[in-house]
Amino acid sequence: MPALGCCVDATVSPPLGYAFSSDSSLPTPEFFSSGVPPMTNAAAGHSHWSPDLSSALYRVDGWGAPYFSVNSSGDISVRPHGTDTLPHQEIDLLKVAKKAADPKHLGGLGLQMPLVVRFPDILKNRLETLQSAFDMAVRSRGYEAHYQGVYPVKCNQDRFVVEDIVKFGSPYRFGLEAGSKPELLLAMNCLSKGSADALLVCNGFKDTEYISLALIARKLLLNTVIVLEQEEELDLVIDISRKMAVRPVIGLRAKLRTKHSGHFGSTSGEKGKFGLTTTQILRVVKKLEGSGMLDCLQLLHFHIGSQIPTTELLADGVGEATQIYSELVRLGAGMKFIDIGGGLGIDYDGSKSSDSDVSVAHGIEEYASAVVQAVQFVCDRKGVKHPVICSESGRAIVSHHSIMIFEAVSASTTNVSPQLSSGGLQSLAETLNEDARADYRNLSAAAVRGEYDTCLLYSDQLKQRCVEQFNDGSLDIEQLAAVDSICDLVSKAIGVSDPVRAYHVNLSVFTSIPDFWAFGQLFPIVPIHRLDEKPTMRGILSDLTCDSDGKVDKFIGGESSLPLHDLGSNGGDGGRYYLGMFLGGAYEEALGGLHNLFGGPSVVRVLQSDSPHSFAVTRSVPGPSCADVLRAMQFEPELMFETLKHRAEESFDQEEEIEDKGLAFESLISGLAQSFHNMPYLVAPSSCCFTAATAKGGGYYYYNEDNAADCATAEDEIWSYCTA
């Protein structure tokens, strides 16, 4: 155990050997002279570290395979085609971040952080991998129907994500699932360019307008299925379809007994939010039969929860549902499809564990095989024709393709000691009461004897007594800080001080990682560079919001802090320290709100290419401006600007010492106007809108994949936007 020699040495600057003048019985602090070895810094640990060690430390090979790894430069490398990615096709994520963040005059896009980077190639690979897994299971077992997937747009409704899925999935008849009227409208629009056989599955609570819209989709020759979530929806479907002269295709959602435990299983089982019981299913069949529409009932849907941990549980649920499907066939329904819902999980921590909400104990191939086998077993036993198998695997399709990059702008410092002169130390001693002096004597004696637990006891007592004196007004803040520093250094020397720092990140947890704040969903968070250096710090992430919940203090692997690098030694990357949150492509963007009026991130779309850096940015959109988020809260930014401009005119009229009022006024007003157009997040000091007399520029950068020209950014007036 290290000696305590640094404690007073680090607190006082004069030579050792003095005593408190007010009490000669206090021992001199000469026993503190042996010192404590300094903490190893990043540079010292560099030669003993490697990218492979960082990969193991952050479990990249576990949660990241086959799309993410650590390259020889110590940066996160993206493999856009998964296992089929060739070495020259790998993309250095740091280079993408720099391309996005660098100013335009240096060849960058001039975007502010935080930044979402989308990789459509990964999206395509995920979809193809899912389809391939089911195709293989169908072929290997001699299954007599096919698989066709359905993407639930609630996972990520971004236009380009949905359009990509329809485009990439068209050869496989891949469809969409909608749960609200806006989602139904966007699904109808996107599927108009997709496969004619692709399903448009309509889930969720439904009213007259929703059902009418779904039937219009049927009129437009989209393969639309209205899934009954509640029994009373059937009467609306029958009535409206007759009025519109449209023969509907109907599905129903069954409440299964099978469910799994944990947060993600709470939506399933007999007490689940949606679905029909066996009694209700029989009433639906009878009503359809009486209406001459029993042939319209063609799909059975169920859902036993997201993140299904084991294939055994999955097989139980699929088997139970297939029994219901077979009974519907026996009762005369025109059954064709079994929709197994979602549940294909993501291994967020790389543990491949069945005991965690953030992991699953199987891969896509095992999932597909279990589903096909369970359906086939029941159908063969019942003598029922094999149905088309559908799944709504949203999380598994979109999670990997999107990465959130953000910057740590500063970190809290710990155990920084103010320097006390000899006179200052004597003044402190004179102010301490008798109990505090006794604690110091006992602390000193215990240190001489090497009794470190006793040292900690008297250190805590000394601090508490001094806090009481401070509250009584007999100790000033400088003296209290000196006592705090002595006690903190004792704790550090003994090895019980808290080494965890708060890294302040240019992010809003509520806006960009709402699942973490809401129910503790964990995502891999990793520095995207400097991984050839040993991280010598541990930290939590503290965001820009003024709420105590605005922090990330739980990480994969059960950790309460994250290994991080010292920001002070970050000169190699221009002083910037970038972190990435991975596997967040599902739900986070749609759920994020406007807490503290922080808007969404900037977004870039990146394709693998044969360019020198192996990538091309095909689309770039800056995050919402201050005006955008204010407008979302019913403010009118243009009127706000006019009010403030008028206030500025009045204040300048009263100023007499300004040399050139006209120039000063124009500079202030242009800076004020530009502040409405800037993002709410932090910017580098050189980018501050108030440092320039004019604030032209900004706007909307756009580069079409068909090589369209950049959108012009010149503005005739300061208050204007460039629109694509």
Active site residues: 546
Q: Tell me the CA end-to-end span of the chain in Å, nearest whole number.
A: 65
Nearest-angstrom CA–CA distance, 503 and 577: 10
Nearest-angstrom CA–CA distance, 614 and 609: 5
Q: Which helix (H) or strand (E) holds 389?
A: strand 388-390
Query: In residues, how long is the chain?
Result: 724
Both tokens assigned to 9: 């040495």
Helix, strand, coil % over all residues of the chain, rounded to 5: 45, 15, 40
Nearest-angstrom CA–CA distance, 228 and 205: 8
Nearest-angstrom CA–CA distance, 62 and 611: 29
Q: Per DSSP, what are the bridge partners of residue 404?
A: 116, 581
- Helix 120-141 and helix 364-382, axial crossing angle in degrees, nearest 10: 40
Both tokens assigned to 409: 């702008």
Nearest-angstrom CA–CA distance, 457 and 202: 65
Nearest-angstrom CA–CA distance, 227 and 249: 9
Cβ atoms < 10 Å from Cβ of 641 = 18
Radius of gyration of the chain (CA): 32
- Helix 434-449 and helix 452-472, axial crossing angle in degrees, nearest 10: 160
Looking only at the bridges linking them, the beta strands covering 337-339 and 297-301 are: parallel
Nearest-angstrom CA–CA distance, 36 and 33: 9
Residues 6 or more apart from 24 whose CB is under 8 A from it?
none
Long-range CB contact pairs, 206-214, < 8 A, 24+ = 206/230, 206/233, 206/236, 207/236, 208/236, 208/240, 209/181, 210/180, 210/181, 210/184, 211/236, 211/237, 211/240, 212/240, 212/244, 213/181, 213/184, 213/185, 213/188, 214/184, 214/248
- Which residue, 177, 713, 318, is CA-closest to 721? 713
Residues 6 or more apart from 540 whose CB is under 8 A from it?
500, 501, 502, 503, 551, 552, 553, 560, 561, 562
CA distances from 628 to 372, 405, 419, 675 (A): 48, 22, 48, 12
Q: Which helix (H) or strand (E) holds 8?
A: helix 6-9
Residues 6 or more apart from 572 whose CB is under 8 A from it?
530
Position 444: which residue type? Answer: S
556 contacts 59 by C-beta, under 8 angstroms:
yes
Nearest-angstrom CA–CA distance, 261 and 267: 10
Helices (H) and strands (E) in the chain, counts: 24, 21
Cα dihedral 603, 609, 614, 616 sign: negative
- Which residue, 682, 687, 692, 675, is CA-closest to 625? 675
